[in-house]
Amino acid sequence: MRRELVFTFNSMSEALTFMEMVTNKIKSKELLIRYDAGNGIRVWISIQGEPHEVELYSMEVKRVYNDIKLMRGKFGTRTYDVSLILSKAKLSAAIPIDLVIDLLQVKGISAELDDSRIRVAGDVGLDDLVKLAEDISRIYSELMDMEVSAQAKRIIALYALLMGKGVKDSINELLSKGLLSRYGDTDLLVLSMDYRHALSRLQDLVGGKGNTN
């Protein structure tokens, strides 16, 4: 059995992202992809195999296309698959993906993590989210060999990126501002308060510098 599906796109970048997502989701030699950018941007997906396989792959391809449409934005909100962001990002250290949400929110941008998807308002695009993930990862790689608690790492990374500071300067400033402290007589850096309270304090500290609106 053979089935051919045709999809249209608003830009070449969108079409390339779609093809990348399809080949990432479906590992089959019976899947053929071609595109035409001459008269509008169209992508043809040809699927061959047993009827149940063709049906299954067709549903998956349509699901990917729906994800692409969600990225275009509707009522000012765009939706991005976390796995796509992480697959495109060149990460030097593992990061908590919800820290991207915290970073956007401190900047004054409405964002939320819904299962495996990020919903964000405004003009924040896929490349923006990939860069944020890479920037957070860079800070985390610098913190890797330091004695820092998991929650303290989050606040240090946010402060460093929002204020444009290095890791050491960020730590010193957060210590002086009372957000970080040493645990007892050790060198371990911990938050001086619970994370949500620290996040609120951080938002007050960065003020207009962190707000892009």
pLDDT tens sequence across 142-168: 999 899 999 999 999 999 999 999 999
CA distance 139 to 122: 26
Q: Are residues 148 and 67 in the same domain?
A: no
Residue where one domain finishes, among candidates 72, 94, 124? 72
Structure token pair of residue 89: 């990002």
Angle (CA) 157-160-165 rounded to 5° is 155
Q: Are residues 171 and 115 in the same domain?
A: yes
**pLDDT, mean over the chain:** 88
Residue where one domain finishes, among candidates 18, 45, 72? 72
Residue 212 confidence (pLDDT) above 80: no
Beta-bridge mates of residue 111: 120
SS3 for 3? strand
CA distance 16 to 30: 20
Residue 42 confidence (pLDDT) above 80: yes
Q: Are residues 87 and 56 in the same domain?
A: no
Do the Cβ atoms of 143 and 154 come closer than 8 Å? no
- pLDDT 10s digits, 47-104: 988 888 889 989 999 988 988 887 776 657 888 989 889 988 999 999 999 999 999 9
Number of domains in the chain: 2
Do the Cβ atoms of 83 and 21 come closer than 8 Å? no
